[in-house]
Chain A
Amino acid sequence: MAVQPILELKEIHASYGSIKALKGISLRVYPGEIVAIIGANGAGKSSTLMATCCVLPIDRGEIWYNGQPIHGKAAESLPPTGLCQVPEGRRIFPRLTVDENLRLGAFHRKDKAAVEKDRQHMFSLFPILRDRRKQHGGTLSGGEQQMLAIARALMTRPKLLLLDEPSLGLAPLIVQQIFDIIHDINQKDGTTILLVEQNANLALQAASRGYVLETGTITLEDDAKKLLGNPEIRKAYLGE
């Protein structure tokens, strides 16, 4: 592909103390796609995203975003450039109201009118948040919290959105709803999405390409359709 990737990881190594979490991860995300990373527990999926957001410092390797190296930068300097993450387990601010949570997403933005417009847009995207905007974040249900976490991240106007396990602990119906929204964000707003999921079936159906992660290394990389049809994958991750 001649197009320049929006995100490129080159041989990323990272560790927690003496435990190596990532052993040379390389991946590319091109503008406009949905890319899924699937893998078992402890394969390094969340660590990959945390390293991309510069929260987890990397030992070796390079991270390029939008044609610029971002490794070693401060984590808080990334959202203004359009790289934002919805962390695993949602991690909304439980004792702030829904509205305050959303406003925090726009923390770095100075254009008040546009922020207000985005806020209204979020309320139309997630009508339940409008009803609950004065409630504390911690009082929302799991699905609502996930919507709030996504809406909060969208308030930063991301070019590339990293989603960490959006289906975690949610009822199947809600999960479907969340994935519809993810699809919409990608199609309508043109936001590139890097998706980490344990629910491989759902993730690969939503994504255009996929990576398979095993104990800190990428073992497979292919089109999502082909991965779905791959007998190995079906056996390992789709329970057949």
Chain B
Amino acid sequence: MIHEFKKIWKSYTIGLLWLMGIIWPLLGIHADGTLSFGKAFTLWLYIAAGSFVCLLLYIMNKSGNLAPVTRPLSAMRGKATAAAGVMPVWVWILAALIASAIFPVFTSRYAQDVAISVLIYICLGLGLNVVVGLAGMLDLGYIAFYGVGAYTYALLNVNYGVSFWLSLPVAGGLAMIAGCIIGYPTLRMRGDYLAIVTLGFGEIVRLILNNWMSLTNGPNGILGVNPPSIAVPTFNGGFGIEILALKKLQYLYYIALFLAVITIIAVRHLNYSRIGRAWESIREDETAAELMGVDTFLLKLLAYAMGAFSPGWPVPFSAPACALSARKALPSWNQPWY
């Protein structure tokens, strides 16, 4: 035990002193210029005491004094993971689906709003994985496609009244075309150079959207985007069909969930297909892939297009989601630029 303590006491002491050096300026220097020590010192003492207990536990564990407690615990954990491993995968998938399906019933608007963002970002991440993960092209302007998808729906809906469902494939398709337009000239680059060029393209799209006042209304965004609607059969006074606008946030949540699930399935299939393998071969060794008969240029362009489709298509939807939840216009560019 002494041996273990000897190994660690120096770095522990230095760490605590360093912490003191950070805590005091934060708590001890006041806005009016006065200095105090009491508050910072008390907090520091609490932290020091707590960390010392942790340190003791750590040392005891290292030197084996805690074995009577840890051994049965780790045995239990081993059993639990073994039991979890026995369950087939579809059980987990089903459990996750059910959990996400009943999620809006028990949660607040705020939680649903966050969940919608999460689902949209799932689609974005999966699309990014096609370009960066599979084909190995570092694309830093990827989020531009998200912008293309979002503005496609917003503009089509506000100016021409195109419905949500029709703009879904249109937005995805336009994002794909944008992907090809950006991809075609940039695919001659490899590695770092590609990253720089794509970063530039992303910035170009952002600047255009932000400054083309007559089309996009600039940083103010586009107002009055309609939420998606569905046709529901009604039976009052005979059979008829009623158009119902999905204004509630939880309907949007379900649509986002649906799109995310579809994207997951599609990307997974793509991943294990012949094309997915070819993308991976390009990532691993482009020349060797060419020697094996892989058309690298075409497949890289395809990766761009497919990668662009998947953020392009869920996004139309973030428009009404935003408009509903925060009354803010689409899209607010507080989204991180990947």
Contact = CB atoms under 8 A, between A and B. Distances in A.
Interface stretch (B54-62, B158-166, B278-286, B325-333): B278-286
B293 A108 contact: yes
B287 A93 contact: no
A57 interface: no
B292 A152 contact: yes
Given A87-B287, A87-B288, A93 B293 contact: no
B287 A91 contact: yes
Q: Is the interface of B mostly helix, strand, loop or mixed?
A: helix
Contact of B293 (A80, A91, A100, A103): A80
A74 interface: yes
Contacts of B287: 55, 87, 91
Contacts of A92: 288
B277 A103 contact: yes
Given A76-B294, A76-B295, A96-B277, 17 more contacts: A55-B290, A55-B291, A76-B293, A76-B296, A78-B293, A84-B291, A92-B288, A93-B284, A93-B285, A95-B280, A100-B277, A103-B277, A105-B292, A107-B274, A107-B278, A107-B292, A108-B293
Interface of B: 274, 277-278, 280-281, 283-285, 287-296
4 closest A-B pairs (Cβ-Cβ)?
A79-B293, A93-B284, A91-B288, A108-B293
A94 interface: yes
Interface range, A side:
20 to 34
A104 B277 CA distance: 7
Given A100-B277, A103-B277, A79 B288 contact: no
18 contacts: A55-B290, A79-B291, A80-B293, A84-B292, A87-B291, A91-B285, A91-B291, A92-B288, A93-B288, A96-B284, A100-B277, A104-B281, A104-B292, A107-B274, A107-B292, A107-B293, A107-B294, A152-B292
B179 to A, nearest CB: 22
Nearest to A99: B277
Nearest to A90: B288
A180 to B, nearest CB: 24
A152 B288 CA distance: 11
A103 B293 CA distance: 12
Contact of A75 (B280, B284, B291): B291
B290 A75 contact: yes
Contacts of A156: 292-293
A87 B286 CA distance: 12
A153 B288 CA distance: 10
A76 B290 contact: yes
Contacts of B284: 93-96
A237 B285 CA distance: 32
Nearest to A105: B292
Contacts of A85: 291
Contacts of A152: 292
A84 B293 CA distance: 9
Contacts of B285: 91, 93
A53 interface: yes
Interface-central residue, B281, B293, B296, by most chain A CB under 10 Å:
B293
A93 B294 contact: no
B285 to A, nearest CB: 5
A93 B291 contact: no
Interface in A80-138: 80, 84-85, 87, 91-96, 100, 103-105, 107-108
Contacts of A87: 287-288, 291
Given A78-B293, A80-B293, A108-B293, A96 B281 contact: yes
Interface string A175-219: 000000000000000000000000000000000000000000000
A106 to B, nearest CB: 9
A92 B283 CA distance: 12
Interface-central residue, A75, A80, A85, A100, by most chain B CB under 10 Å:
A75
A96 B281 CA distance: 8
Contacts of B283: 95
A104 to B, nearest CB: 5
A74 B289 CA distance: 13
A96 B291 contact: no
